[in-house]
Amino acid sequence: MNVKSNFHTHTTYCDGKNTPEEMIKSAIEKGFTHLGFSGHAYTSFDLSWCMSKEKTKEYKNEILRLKDKYKNEISIYLGLEMDYYSEENLADYDYIIGSVHYVEKNGVYYPVDESEEILLNAVNDAWNGDIYAFIDDYYSLVKNLPKRFDFDIVGHIDLVTKFNESGNLFDENCDKYKNSAYCAIDELLSYHKSFEVNTGAIIRGYRTKPYPSDMLLTRIKEGNGRVIISADAHSVDGLDFAFDKAQEIIDSLKIKQIKVL
């Protein structure tokens, strides 16, 4: 069987634009064999983008209903994207993506990927303008994800580079940056986690290449890690957006790749 899969999918239950059923119909049209839903898990301090506790129950029921309804056409998985600070009982899920979207400092939760301005203000207000200190705190959380909860896939590991593709905010080749990032990768490799090659920021115009950078992918490869292509889709258009580009990078670096969980 020719496998076509995506395990990083958002819907109207969190911050996506389409319903789960619309996503499934579109995935079938696009030739997908496997589709996993990964709604943003409840985080108490910011409900603007994640599922409330009530919505989470509805989400579970709806995905399970659709899993059965479409079982002859596509394999559907009930997953969840857990933030480092999310709270949720994970027993009912087929798989979990572990991601960091906020860094907490002095009781304030600073979003990593909201906008360049918000990021720079956070660094100035809470990290004395030292962006590498902020980055190190970010990667410390990534590194500690396995201690927070059990999960399968590391989500967009270098999300902190979202607004830095041209190197305007910091130098991804400097030792400070590398040390922080490699430390997290090495720890996650010791837990045998799989890493996403995530194309989500491309369709939204923030980047031209997927997460993570070639440099971090090389580190993953050297540590015998595995990657999985994912869309981080927030709409039907995103379902397989830039998958060819992601595949090209994986092929050129010759990294171990998985397509199903």
In the complex, the residues that contact Zn ion under the rule CB under 5 A are 81, 99, 155, 232
- In whole angstroms, the minimum distance from the beta carbon of 37 to Zn ion comes to 11
Cβ closer to Zn ion: 36 or 225? 36
Considering beta carbons, is residue 155 or 225 the nearer one to Zn ion?
155
Whether residue 60 contacts residue 90, with contact meaning beta carbons closer than 8 Å, is answered with no
Taking CB positions, which residue lies at the least distance from Zn ion? 99
Instruction: State which residue, 98 or 176, has the beta carbon closest to Zn ion.
Output: 98
Q: Residue 220 Cβ, how far from Zn ion at the closest point, in Å? A: 18
Closest approach of Zn ion to the CB of residue 96, in Å: 12
Nearer Cβ to Zn ion (37/134): 37
**DSSP letters spanning the chain:** ----EE--B--TTTT-SS-HHHHHHHHHHTT-SEEEEEEEPP-TT--SSS--HHHHHHHHHHHHHHHHHTTTT-EEEEEEEEETT-----TT-SEEEEE--EEEETTEEEESSS-HHHHHHHHHHHSTT-HHHHHHHHHHHHHHHHHH---SEE--TTGGGTT-TTSSS--TTSHHHHHHHHHHHHHHHHTT-EEEEE-HHHHTTS-SS-BS-HHHHHHHHHTT-EEEEE--BSSGGGTTTTHHHHHHHHHHHT-EE-S--
Among 37, 152, 40, residue whose Cα is nearest residue 85 = 40
Q: Minimal distance in Å, beta carbon 1 to Zn ion?
A: 27
Residue (90 or 176) nearer to Zn ion, CB: 90
**Minimum CB separation from Zn ion for residue 222, in Å?**
25
CB of 254 to Zn ion, least distance (A): 27
- If the CB atoms of residues 158 and 232 are measured against Zn ion, the closer one turns out to be 232
